[in-house]
Amino acid sequence: MSDVIPEYIIDGGLVKRALYSGLDFMKAKSGVEHVARSGMFLFYIRRDADGLIIGAADVDGKGVDYEAKLPVQVSKGGIRRFFPMEGSAMILTGGGILFRAGMNDGLLDSKEGVIDAVNAGGSLVIIEKSGNEFYLNNNGAKTPLMVSGNLAITGSPAGRLISVTNGKDVEIFDLGSMKSLYQYSVDGTYALPVKYNLEISSCDEPREYDRGGRLDVIFYKVFIDGAERGRTETGPGGLCRIFRDMAEPDAYHLVRLERWSLDDKKGKYVRENNLNQPDIFRLHIPGNRIVRLDLTYDGRGYHISRSAQRN
């Protein structure tokens, strides 16, 4: 049992000062499920017959200063994170909605699609998903993650370094530079960049084709930071093709792929129109891993994922 006594505890739905046994705090506000202190304010979440209410009170017990009802129904145990931040309270539900209840402006803002969120030394850091990719967002500065799955932020939220894990794989970030510093796994190791540090795999999904069911014959030109670095092998669209290169390590790069296909009438390869081209990627290449990009074209657009190559 820990010998560190918390300043406030929840006992039977009431908040009590743990250092003064039996002294109830906010006696008139029962049903409290979560509590967190920030400076001279105590933020809390309580449940009544209509749902959850977020509120704040003076730590000296002089009364409730703010209360607002959450506009969604959340079952008991459905709050994933609850923490104060710059005079506000942040609430992350299990359904991926992040609420901000502002003490000063009285606003109740929300953001959907949030996987996890923490207060990292005064900075709001969240994990969000776009398409097939996960991103770490530090007050608007975003960087893609190479770990995926059921992600959570761990480590030391008060410091500059932060960890993201799916329970088996861990990626460590420097929030100052927004760079991935290291990655490890409990069930394997990651390949080191000896001959190359970037591998791109591109292929087409099987689908119905307009020209008698025949596959497109294609290749991709690869540009890094505006300079052409080479091209993939030529072959049927359903054949996955690999491109490898050694880019400058521990730096961000702009990677662009250009799709070319065989034009039967012209008897030569032509660049396809912009609708069939993948987006440009802003990619961080760490110094201690090989970054793998997987692109799959389905005839309408590209599905993209990135990961660190394993041994």
Question: What is the domain-level CATH number for residue 288?
Answer: 2.60.40.4150
The answer to whether position 124 is within a domain reads: yes
Residues 42 and 118 in one domain: no
Residue where a domain terminates, one of 160, 188, 216: 188
- Contact residues for 280 (Cβ-Cβ < 8 A; gap 6+): 254, 255, 256
Residues 148 and 214 in one domain: no
Residues 77 and 137 in one domain: no
Q: What is the pLDDT of residue 189?
A: 93
Q: What is the pLDDT of residue 277?
A: 95
What is the spatial distance between Cα 185 and Cα 183, in angstroms, rounded to a whole number?
Answer: 7
| Residue ranges for the chain with pLDDT beneath 70 | 1-6, 17-28, 60-64, 103-107, 156-158, 207-215
Q: What is the pLDDT of residue 172?
A: 95
Q: What is the pLDDT of residue 18?
A: 63
The answer to whether position 303 is within a domain reads: yes
The answer to whether position 175 is within a domain reads: yes
Residues 212 and 167 in one domain: no
Vertex 245, ends 273 and 256: CA angle to 5°? 25
Q: What is the pLDDT of residue 281?
A: 87
Q: What is the pLDDT of residue 50?
A: 83
Residues 291 and 204 in one domain: yes
Nearest to 41 by CA among 104, 99, 97, 91: 104
Residues 100 and 19 in one domain: yes
The answer to whether position 167 is within a domain reads: yes
Residues 127 and 100 in one domain: no
**258 token code pair:** 């250009």
Q: What is the pLDDT of residue 56?
A: 82
Which CATH number goes with the domain that contains 79?
2.40.128.630
Q: What is the pLDDT of residue 210?
A: 45
The answer to whether position 184 is within a domain reads: yes
| Number of domain units in the chain | 3
Residues 2 and 65 in one domain: yes
Q: What is the pLDDT of residue 37?
A: 80
The answer to whether position 193 is within a domain reads: no
Residues 1 and 103 in one domain: yes
Ordered strands of the 64-69 beta sheet: 32-38, 41-48, 51-58, 64-69
The answer to whether position 277 is within a domain reads: yes
- pTM more than 0.75: yes
The residue type at 221: K
Residues 92 and 160 in one domain: no
What is the spatial distance between Cα 103 and Cα 86, in angstroms, rounded to a whole number?
Answer: 9
The domain of 17 spans 1-107
Residue where a domain terminates, one of 83, 107, 131: 107
Nearest to 259 by CA among 283, 282, 285, 279: 279
169, 147 in Cβ contact below 8 A?
yes
Q: What is the pLDDT of residue 211?
A: 47
Residue where a domain terminates, one of 188, 211, 245: 188
Residues 13 and 74 in one domain: yes
Residues 22 and 97 in one domain: yes
